[in-house]
Chain A
């Protein structure tokens, strides 16, 4: 079979999309768009890596920072959010064995989030709007550097993304709590207790007191608890980002209609505190909780066993709720007007609990796998181990910079960008998501397709793992040696680090191309297009018969 035919029809006939339920199709739409945006973010990243090695011709500072602004928004909201939302839109009804509350809302969610991400990207591409993702006040309304049109397009794009996020949250909560026709109504209180992990905590208390467990079979499985808990942070984060958007919109109006308000009317430090409180709910709340939940789910699916120390895991998710709301000050350790008590309590000590909560999830997941030996080294297992390794590298790097002494030397350096959050996102989070994709792939496709090439899957794994860690390591070392993350260097000051970082970055991009080729060769472009065609199966069906059998199995 020629390459062209392979790509059009897929391996062994490709994906039979006609057998997919509306839920399977909408999930796959999230995944497809998320993977495309990942590629866009990776290409943007490589352009920036190239520019860090030696300034690229025709690349002005305005253009460079417009890419740097779009890059995390495409990568986080366009890719990661869509992949995570897609997986959870499927998993909540699948694990609860009831239909999704609204397929229409799920379709609206990926649609509006895609449109929002494209708008943000265009605001950079066309207007060079570049306040970066941190939008420190008053930079987003500095109309001596940026245009009103660019700012407006950016804010509308972000608003679209957040409206889509709220849609996902509503659909998730509604699916957890609503009672489908013909099913027995479940009382709300135990569901809520379970959703927040309170029942797990009470089980531990009762065990210490020598009493019977508070509940033997919690109504929600552990991954659902993590999804529910992470979604609380997602909701709060969406509110804060929307509020920042409204503030920017207000000052756009001020600029256009000359209302005479000065941007110093907004206190930059207070704004920074509120904004980081919200934004950190993504980084330290949502990501860590969702990831922990996904690890637990993957470990249980891979081993077919219950989780090791699962009551502790439930309680740890409750602890993370409190921790994630109180850690934002580690982003302000170098802000001198920030009160010292905030730096010590929130910035250092409470932040240190993230080492504990993430360390627990790491230990529980590994132990669950270990106790089920021997395991076959499947794609889902190897990517899960890659994801665990990513966080084992990135979380301590973050804890190190969340220290008053170290932050004085590391804040805003390439250490933060490389050793911490790129390793966390690219190796930790993305490899966890690849693991989830591999394990859900047969369920989402009714096992109608066979992976085109295991060899390509292996290449994808190794290139991604080595590329991600290598790039993070060299960026991190450049940061230790003083390289800033948001400064243009023109004299080759850090060339020694930036060349290998660029080579490892290219491996990441190559890994994505290999993965996409393998997936398209597996399902075929016809199957891919078919995902976006309406399903003829009843929307109440979660998964058709073949996948239901797998679920039972």
Chain B
């Protein structure tokens, strides 16, 4: 099962390669554009232009097709009304406080399909789970007056903390629920990071 850590690591590698490639291209261009060409015959024809256009379309659409097939939580999101949850965890947020349905840490079994339903009694908040090394597992916005439901299946054993991932005024700038969830019975252990 692909984890969020693997996805983010891939992003870091791919985007870094892209960034260096595009910077090199512009640097090369800046050097060459000041030089007199040996010939004014150019390969930059409309055909090249339309090929480039087609490549952009393929990349723009392809990235979403790729993530749909490789990242499991995309399908969980799109099919959340059809996938039955093993358990539902209702969390309320009020006055910049997380209110959990039971004493924390709440224990979740590995592979269990959990539906988080987070509601807000007042402001717009966020609900994000983080590993001890501070990397993000997932997050969602919590809009008042609505049910904010998210399906998740855990495959890393460990303890996770919760932050509000949306700003709700200066009073909410440090909203944190330490050791809010504990996942058990997984083979893979969660990264503890630098702590």
Do A and B form a real pair? yes
Within 8 Å by CB of B138, from A137, A268, A408, A493, lies: A408
Give the residue name and chain of the B residue nearest to A364 (CB).
B49
The interface residues of chain A lying within 8 Å CB-to-CB of B163 are 484, 487
Q: How far is the CB of B102 from chain A (nearest CB, A)?
A: 22
Residues A389 and B22 in contact, CB atoms below 8 Å apart: yes
Please list 26 pairs of residues, one from A and one from B, whose beta carbons are closer than 8 Å in the complex, sorted by A's number: A130-B170, A131-B169, A138-B122, A139-B167, A268-B146, A308-B44, A308-B49, A336-B140, A336-B149, A352-B63, A353-B60, A359-B53, A363-B52, A367-B44, A373-B33, A373-B34, A374-B36, A396-B15, A396-B18, A399-B63, A405-B70, A409-B139, A482-B133, A484-B165, A487-B165, A488-B173
On whether the beta carbons of B134 and A481 are closer than 8 Å, the reply is yes
Q: Interface of chain A, helix or strand or loop or mixed? A: helix
Q: Name the A residues within 8 Å of B22 (CB-CB).
A: 389, 392-393
In the bound assembly, the distance between CA atoms of A377 and B138 in angstroms comes to 47
Chain A 404-459 interface residues, beta-carbon cutoff 8 Å to B: 404-406, 408-409, 411-413, 419
Most interface-central of A312, A332, A484 (chain B CB within 10 A): A484
Task: Give the interface residue-count category, chain B.
Answer: 35 or more
Of the 9-residue stretches B23-31, B86-94, B182-190, which lies at the interface with chain A?
B23-31
Whether A374 and B15, one on each chain, are in contact in the complex, defined by CB atoms closer than 8 angstroms, is: no
The chain B residue with its CB closest to the CB of A415 is B11
**Quick check: A482 and B26 within 8 Å, CB to CB?**
no
Chain B's closest residue to A396 (CB) is B18
Bitwise, A351-384 to B at CB < 8 A (1) or not (0) is 0110110011001001101110111110001100
Q: Is B56 among interface residues, defined by CB-CB distance under 8 A? A: yes
Given the complex, which residues of A lie within 8 Å of B19, measured CB to CB? Answer: 393, 473
Main secondary structure of the interface of B (DSSP, over half): mixed
Assembled-state Cα–Cα distance A396/B70 (Å): 19
Tell me which residues across on chain A come within 8 A of B159, comparing CB atoms.
none
A199 at the interface (CB under 8 A from B): no
Closest beta carbon of chain B to A174's beta carbon, Å: 36
Assess whether A486 is in contact with B173, with CB atoms less than 8 Å apart.
yes
What is the CA–CA distance of A372 and B78 in the complex, to the nearest angstrom?
49
Contact B64 A487 (CB under 8 A): no
Task: Contact check, B61 vs A352: say whether CB atoms are below 8 A apart.
Answer: yes
Q: What chain B residues lie within 8 Å of A482 (beta carbons)? A: 130-131, 133-136
Contacts of A94 in B (CB 8 A): none
Q: Are A370 and B29 in contact (CB under 8 A)?
A: yes
Contact at B36–A373, with CB atoms within 8 Å?
yes
Compute how far the CA of A525 lies from the CA of B186 in the bound complex, rounded to whole angstroms: 69
- Does chain A have a CB within 8 A of B144? yes
Interface residues as binary, B1-29 with A (CB distance below 8 Å gives 1, 0 otherwise):
00010011001100100110011001001
CB within 8 A of A412: which of B30, B44, B61, B126? B126
Q: Which residue of A lies closest to B11 (CB)?
A: A480
- A62-B170, A403-B63, A409-B4 given; A389·B23 CB < 8 A: yes
Which B residues from 114 to 140 make CB contacts under 8 A with A? 122-124, 126, 128, 130-131, 133-136, 138-140
Cβ–Cβ < 8 Å partners of B64 in chain A: 348-349, 352, 403-404
A62: chain B residues within 8 A (beta carbon): 170
A369 neighbours in B (Cβ, 8 Å): 29, 33
A419 pairs with B23, CB closer than 8 A: no
B83 at the interface (CB under 8 A from A): no
- Listed from nearest, the 3 A-B pairs whose CB atoms lie closest are A352-B60, A405-B71, A405-B67
Contact of A377 among B34, B46, B78, B123 (CB under 8 A): B34
Is B101 on the interface with A (CB-CB < 8 A)?
no
